Structure 1
Amino acid sequence: MIKRELYMSRIRPFMGKDLIKVLTGIRRCGKSVMLELIKDELQGQGVPSDHFFSLNFEDMNNMHLCSAEALHREIADWAAGLDGKVYLFFDEIQEVEQWEKCINSFRVEFDCDIYITGSNAALLSGELATYLAGRYVEFTIYPFSFVEFSQLYESIFPGSSDQELFTKFLMLGGMPYLGNLRYSDEPSRLYLRDLYNSIVLKDIMKRNRIRDVDLLERIIGYIVSNIGTTFSATAISKYFKNENRTVSPETILNYIKYCEEAFLFYRVPRQDLQGKKLLTVNEKYYLADQGMRQAVLGSNPKDISLVLENIVYLELLRRGYTVTVGKTGTREIDFVCERDGEKLYVQVSYLLASPETIEREFGVYASIRDNYPKYVVTLDEFDMSREGIKHRNIRDFLLMPDWQ
């Protein structure tokens, strides 16, 4: 089991405190394992295992507890026989009706430490979430980073080269369960396609009561095909109109929002670096895991730059950066990243195979006069850094502990 220290280091300061710890992220990204890692650490601190109460609400055996009243009775009966702090772990809590009331009641009634997971970003944005306002801290969990992927892959196939590791990561992505399939290509792709369909069906369609399934699938298909490309809801609407399908931009935006709430896509706004303002049109979208895209659409060499962008973007999110696309004149910088008052610029490309490509990727920084780090990230094996702009192979970039 990979220790996932990146997340544990963020959660650890809140362990044992009365704030509710909320772990969110796309289905099957490893949230349940995070709960086990937290339990292991608490046990290592001397907490007795009989003070843990764990429930996974996707387990049919727990269906009778999917109401606030039933869950409250169950926990109250269990906690009555214990002395001292109790530790509550609830997986996929969104399956419990009015779960916020129940969780808030536990916080008030018992000496307890509460951890919950959910597969929807709207988990804490509804009307009932006012019960928990100011009483929780949220952590977004992502699929494996390249570092985590490499740790697991090398435990299965010792001695793998860096190139082999990255090729597998590029093609299959970072979903943790793939290790159980020993990263075999066809079983892994089948799993990823089934996972993708499950997210569309359960976390998007059913949760939002979408009736026009064909339209939802077409919109998702369009975005998956065009990750890393700037477009607007109006552009998608025109695309459907050319296919004799009338869809309003508002409907498209609603469907995209549902996909974002299920963590299937991440939206990246554009920023005018000269006017220092966010632009409201032509955003970019990236997929939660590049392996799902490869499994659903197949591998297309023409898309390699976009897939590399997707990988870098997710790594920026994992490390806590707020990311925008930077517009400077007629050019765009792929990622403008900010964290704790620091800034970072990242340009991603496939290969610097021609003088024109080199000029395009490095030249985009010409109008940026600050001294923050500027990177060009590609698959090239040779360092072509120049004029203070750092060029890195993507493997090395993903493995670097710090980019500042």
Structure 2
Amino acid sequence: MSYVIRPRYLETIHKFVDTPVIKVLTGMRRVGKSTILTIIKDEVLSSIPDENKIYLNFESLDLFYINTASALLEYLKPILARIKGKMYFFFDEIQLVDKWEQVVNGLHSDKDCDIYITGSNSTLISGDLATLLAGRYVEFEIQPLTFSEFADFFKHTNLSIDELFSKFIIQGGLPFLKYFNLEESPAFKYLTDVYNTVLVKDVMQYNNLRDVDIFNRISDYVIENIGHTFSANSIKNYFKSENRTVSVDTILNYLEYCSRAFIIKKVPRYDTAGKRLLKIDEKYYLSDHGFRQARGFSNTKDIERVFENIVYIELLSRGYEVTVGKVRDREIDFIAQKENRLCYYQVAYTLGDEKTREREFGVYKLIHDNFPKYVLSADRMDFSQDGIIHKHITDFLLETV
């Protein structure tokens, strides 16, 4: 099988191999969870005999009849009796089995085994896992392809890095795009279908929503305004200007539903002076910025905000916790923290004029610590100054970290 090895996830998951916790791969639909599960089975655990590895894909027609916990248990009984030594279970799309958690918890409690599962967001979202698996799991959220992974996917095209990045800006990073060979028309059709599937199955059906029009308008507002600081009240006022009445609670609930389905990301603001998270005026980004173009919003027209989206998802994929920084009346695009490491990032399209350079570099004069501070842009000229590092955005995205 041909696939891109995604070392950041595999290295992190590898640390939990043979530990007594259930490994759960979550994330938006179609980001490659099933592929990573297969790579864990075939590559990470290559030293384990095949007969000790039980892989079940519940979307397969061969397992179509296994749709209840009792049917799954009956299927597993002869396997459990036959296998000698430690067993490794790989359950793909396990949400298709009703009350699957009863079997998984039972295996975890009674057998010498290591368990890995994936599933759709309609049942395997973070809020449910704590109840279903009662503290017996560790969660790995899988993001769409980063630009370095995207470039690896399409290296056979012999396009330059700049040409590939232009394609990435427009089409985003869902792995299935490899089948369309960077052609925009089928790519956008696919992105639209995935987006609609997530909205319908993982948001509307799961949360039993009825007002389709209001929901679509709220989601489109967020998609259009990625990277802007706004509140539920600002969305309410937007609807009021269109003679529509929507409550703040409804808006907040709908945004939370989209966040729980991993389609959008809410980024809190952090007051660097007060050392506290702020509860108002968060920013939102998309898990995959290609959805924005597919929904009819130009990524090239709003390229600075799309740059921000790309950098934000990149930082998440590197394992950072990310906030937006507030420094007095100024803002830092991202504060990224992992363990005892902390970095600051400003993102711009171009630094061609002095006013823009003052805005992007000047905010760091208000930060009095020695953590690394970066400005990322599309400029090839190096504008680094006063210990603040300027990088071309693709150089940053292609770093091996």
Q: After the TM superposition, which of the residue ranges 90-99 and 377-386 deviates more from structure 2?
A: 90-99
Shift of 1:138: 1.2
The Cα shift of 1:128 comes to: 7.5
The residue number in structure 1 matching 2:368 is 369
Task: Report the alpha carbon displacement of residue 121 of structure 1 after superposing the two structures with TM.
Answer: 8.7
Partner of 1:120: 121
1:78 and 2:79 are equivalent in the alignment: yes
Measured against aligned partners, the alpha-carbon deviations of 1:23-73 in whole angstroms (never above 9, x if no partner) come to 01110000000011011125521x232333323334465443222222222
- The 3 A distance-change label for structure 1 pair 61 and 101 is same
Name the residue aligned to 2:251.
252
**Structure-2 residue corresponding to 1:3:** 5
Whether the 8 Å CA contact 2:374–2:391 is kept in 1: the answer is yes
How many Å separate the matches in 2 of 1:105 and 1:243? Answer: 54
Aligned pairs for 1:160-239 within 5 A: 160-239=159-238
SS at match of 1:279: strand
Is the deviation greater in 256-265 or in 177-186?
A: 177-186
CA distance in 2, matches of 1:165, 1:236: 35
1:66 aligns to 2:67 (yes or no)? yes
State the SS of the aligned residue for 1:64: coil
Runs of at least 5 residues in structure 2 that lack an aligned partner in the other structure: none
Q: CA 1:329 to 1:17, structure 2 compared with 1: closer, same or farther past 3 Å?
A: closer
**1:81-124 CA distance string (max 9 Å, x none):** 22222221112223332222221011123222211013339736
Alpha-carbon distance in 2 for matches of 1:124, 1:177 = 22
Aligned-partner Cα distance in 2 for 1:355–1:182? 40
Q: Look up the match of 2:336.
A: 337
Paired residues of 1:121 and 1:263 also in contact (CA < 8 A): no
Normalising by structure 1, we get a TM-score of 0.94
Corresponding position of 2:15? 13
Change (3 A) 1:237 1:157: same
TM-score by length of 2: 0.95
Cα 1:307–1:103, aligned 2, differ >3 Å: closer, same or farther? same
- Percentage of pairs with the same residue: 50
Deviations 1:357-403 (A, max 9, x none): 1111111111101111111101111111111111111000111234x
Counterpart of 1:2 in 2: which secondary structure? coil
> After the TM superposition, which of the residue ranges 368-377 and 176-185 deviates more from structure 2?
176-185
Measured in 2, the distance between the counterparts of 1:201 and 1:267 equals 20
Distance 1:43 1:133 in 2: 26
Alignment length, in residue pairs? 399
**Match of residue 388 from structure 1:** 387
The alpha-carbon distance between structure 1 residues 126 and 353, as it changes in their structure 2 partners (threshold 3 A), is closer
Asked if 2 retains the 8 angstrom alpha-carbon contact of 1:51 and 1:82, the reply is yes
Distance 1:219 1:126 in 2: 22
| Cα offset, 1:169, TM superposition | 1.2
Pick closer, same or farther for the CA change 1:209–1:109 going to 2, 3 Å.
same
Greater mean alpha carbon deviation, residues 229-238 or residues 81-90:
81-90
| Equivalent-residue separation in structure 2 for 1:62 and 1:98 (angstroms) | 16
Equivalence for 1:309: 308
The reply on whether 1:91 has 2:119 as its aligned counterpart is no
Task: State the alpha-carbon separation in 2 of the partners of residues 194 and 33 from structure 1.
Answer: 20
Query: Counterparts of 2:215 and 2:61 in 1: how far apart (Å)?
Result: 28
SS at match of 1:26: coil
User: Does the 8 Å CA contact 1:25/1:121 hold for their aligned counterparts?
Assistant: no
SS for the counterpart of 2:301 is helix
* Structure 1 moving runs of 4+ over 4 Å: 124-128
Query: Which blocks of at least 5 consecutive residues in structure 1 are unaligned?
Result: none
Deviates more, 1:1-10 or 1:181-190: 181-190
**1:23 is aligned to 2:25:** yes
Question: C-alpha root-mean-square deviation of aligned residues, in Å?
Answer: 1.8
